[in-house]
Amino acid sequence: MEPFAPIAVGLFLAVANQKIIEYFSAPVRKEWPDLNLWWLLYLALATGAAIAWFGNLNLFRGYLDHDLLGRVLSCILVGGGSSLIHDVFDKGASV
């Protein structure tokens, strides 16, 4: 397996999670345009974390020795979205 394959999988899962949340929230936004949907961020975090956890994703396998910590951080990143993953690994590589 190539070294960047887990990052690509993480990005794909993050985008898929984001699109699923957008798909289900679009009718709500259309029906009630003034409704405050602040909680969608937390729903996306929860669903993304579940997808990453059950997908056994560890984006930090080459960086951290502790597998459980890598999986938990991966869950947070996938739930946070593709831009969060990009920010962490792009800016982390330049440090």
pLDDT digits (tens, 9 = 90+) for 64-79: 889 999 999 999 999 9
In whole angstroms, give the CA distance from residue 8 to residue 4: 6
Range of the domain at 55: 5-90
> Which of the four pLDDT bands, split at 50, 70 and 90, describes residue 81?
confident
Q: Is residue 81 part of a domain?
A: yes
In whole angstroms, give the CA distance from residue 89 to residue 4: 11
Quote the number of domains for the chain.
1
Q: Is residue 95 part of a domain?
A: no
Question: pLDDT (tens digit, 9 = 90+) per residue, 5-64?
Answer: 888 899 899 999 999 999 999 999 999 999 998 898 899 999 999 999 999 999 998 888
